[in-house]
Amino acid sequence: MKRFAYFIAVGLVTAGAIVLLTYFWYRSRAHHEGRSAITSDFQRIYAGLTVYKKLHGHYPQGNTEEIAKSLLEEDPKHPALVWESHDKPMVDPWGTRFSIEINGEMVIIRSAGPDRLFGTTDDIVNQ
């Protein structure tokens, strides 16, 4: 009977370890894939800002929502920025709207990262 209990305990510990390793591997992979997608998102947003600036002589003004609206909706036939997913425009791979700050000629685009909270260590910033 003790042997049976021993094998059950070893089996449960092994199964738990496999589940934990699989969870952390999946999370790490999703985090890496999200960061890869961020680079192209940053480039698209910056390209949209550049087009807007060429058309108007300045970057769009306001908070992130106002900037997004300027890029996406100013001219529906020829928007400065074309976003593939119109139901969630300018959203990072984790479902959070990118933050865009414009100070003169400096543009800062920020993703909240996997934890979906701005101001934490996993934020991804392109300046």
In this structure, what CATH number is given to the domain that contains residue 50? 3.30.700.10
φ/ψ (deg, to 5) at 92? -75, 175
The pLDDT of 22-48, averaged and rounded, is 71
Asked if the model's pLDDT at residue 117 lies above 70, the reply is yes
User: Over the chain, what is the mean pLDDT?
Assistant: 79
| Domain assignment present for 7 | no
The DSSP H or E segment spanning 2 is: helix 2-56
Domain housing 79: 37-126
| Domain assignment present for 20 | no
Asked if the model's pLDDT at residue 5 lies above 80, the reply is no
* Model pLDDT, residue 25: 59
* Model pLDDT, residue 35: 67
User: Total structural domains in the chain?
Assistant: 1
| Domain assignment present for 93 | yes
| Domain assignment present for 61 | yes
| Domain assignment present for 99 | yes
| Domain assignment present for 32 | no
Q: What is the pLDDT of residues 67-116, one digit of tens each?
A: 888 887 766 666 667 666 545 678 888 889 999 999 988 999 999 998 99
Asked if the model's pLDDT at residue 9 lies above 80, the reply is no
Q: How does DSSP classify residue 88? A: S
